[in-house]
Chains A and B, each alone.
Chain A
């Protein structure tokens, strides 16, 4: 199959099916309701399950039940909906279930707005729900990359028995771009008989499986958390992904930016280069694990005078950038989060300001 023109939200639904996930539970919320609308039509065609739950709270546990029974399952939502699912996300991480979540972020806090934002960076990468858990967070910057990340997310969730989140924004969900669904990203579900509560007869076993998160004994709970931590540490070693742009030359400013915002920054880098100003761009594709070493190394290049995190939030990723740079260069932030995406001109002005030492 060649390239077709698709809206980001519809590509998410199709990508999941192409990845071999035929179970979808969701609750409508702008700006991603097209995923549910697309799958309400499409899932019955492929013999899959589509169910509109009564709330995001309930949907979270439908995912728990389905994943606990050993089936591939996913949902899509937007910021306030992810807040409601965060209780279940904590339980799903605790019970070590592979579930894929897609958050097409809208502006917050509260009802916020329905336009694109990156205001859920903290929620996705630092928690959201209670307890010591992490999500593997993938941040796409195009419809094509969104489709590929959705397809990659299922085997990743199974590799770690941990929820994976695709962190997009309203622009990614709403825009149309050419997309194709690579066959090599179609994967067979992993064998889940070792732990899934899929019925003893299913696995021909006399041993029952329990899917649970309660560990009343302090030592047992600590050990459980150490086990979870070992998975997150492995993600830090094996799953860091990022893309670099114009990092070969002697750039004087390093921009760190992800998702939709990084595309604007890329244009700004091109424009500045045409004007004789070298600026580098590092785009994290995984937000957890964050590319700490890559950012540190890029910031440490001799010509680099300053680092700036440009994001559609009031400064969230900048804290990870600061953590990466460790004080060897000044770290700045620029962003907006009302729904307007900063323009290339704004980014160029901000960078020029940095080089003039004015910030």
Chain B
């Protein structure tokens, strides 16, 4: 019997630093599988964010740049403009992309920059220890919203996919999840599609991935999946929000 399952060559052998039950590992794998399938590892440059995935370059087996907080889309713009032949992706969390980096992501999307964004939304700041993010749900307790997010004070959570889809510039914008096998299969297809749009020189592409953070949510991995399904998915609805004409 032959080998039926193996690690993508676009991942290194290094064990990750991610917490038990964290979905970053799954998302890394989906991106790496896509890079393998499209045979683009040798011309891919990834950009790591500031956040839990800052060390993503330890796990992806391709060239990488490490961004300042929120600035990955500007760096990707710089690379792609001077080397359009390279394949460029950013890997960003919700604090990085939707808070401090909101300006950079909106303008990169609006310019129609031909790179791919993997946007991991787990409704909380991870690496700094569970503070409130722009994506934190109403009433959700975090270390900086100890009585729960008060929308009277800080507004409603930002729906990044819908916000970017409202721009007139053609783009591929989708929201997926990796909290169950069906979602993972769909997320993989979306990630592959996003890279294919880039390879075709078509448009900006962004895959928002609704994920879990058991550590900072104070839950077991199983509880976290249930909470994501019951609380996050009704608000952050899955689907394609924009597809280029």
Which residues of A pack against B, CB within 8 Å? 23, 25, 49, 51, 53-55, 57-71, 73, 87-88, 91, 95, 197-202, 208-214
Determine how close the nearest CB of chain B comes to the CB of A51; give it in whole angstroms: 6
Contact partner, B62, options A59, A67, A208, Cβ 8 Å:
A208
What's the tally of chain B residues with a CB closer than 8 Å to chain A? Answer: 34
B86 touches A69 (CB 8 A): yes
Determine how close the nearest CB of chain A comes to the CB of B107; give it in whole angstroms: 4
Q: Please indicate the chain A residues that have their CB under 8 angstroms from the CB of B107 in the complex.
A: 53-54, 58
Q: How far is the CA of A68 from the CA of B76 in the complex (A)?
A: 10
Q: Interface residues of A: mostly helix, strand, loop or mixed?
A: mixed
Q: How far is the CA of A212 from the CA of B65 in the complex (A)?
A: 6
B63 touches A66 (CB 8 A): no
A61 touches B71 (CB 8 A): yes
How would residues 178 to 209 of chain B score, 1 for a CB under 8 Å from any chain A CB and 0 otherwise?
00000000000000000000000000000000
A69 touches B83 (CB 8 A): yes
Q: How far is the CA of A58 from the CA of B111 in the complex (A)?
A: 13
A208 touching B63 in the complex, CB below 8 Å, given contacts A53-B74, A58-B103, A65-B75: yes
Q: Please indicate the chain A residues that have their CB under 8 angstroms from the CB of B43 in the complex.
A: 199-202
Q: How far is the CA of A66 from the CA of B81 in the complex (A)?
A: 8
Asked if B104 CB lies within 8 Å of chain A CBs, one says yes
B65 touches A73 (CB 8 A): no
Asked if B154 CB lies within 8 Å of chain A CBs, one says no
A210 touching B63 in the complex, CB below 8 Å, given contacts A58-B74, A58-B104: yes
Asked if B241 CB lies within 8 Å of chain A CBs, one says no
B103 touches A69 (CB 8 A): no
A69 touching B57 in the complex, CB below 8 Å, given contacts A197-B64, A210-B66: no
A25 touching B78 in the complex, CB below 8 Å, given contacts A61-B71, A88-B68, A200-B41: yes
Other than the given A65-B79, A199-B63, 7 more pairs (CB < 8 A) read A51-B81, A55-B103, A62-B75, A65-B74, A69-B86, A197-B64, A212-B48
Interface centre among A49, A60, A198, A199 (most CB of B within 10 A): A199
A58 touches B71 (CB 8 A): yes
Q: Please indicate the chain B residues that have their CB under 8 angstroms from the CB of A58 in the complex.
A: 71, 74, 77, 103-104, 107
Contact partner, B65, options A54, A60, A197, Cβ 8 Å:
A197
Q: How far is the CA of A210 from the CA of B113 in the complex (A)?
A: 22
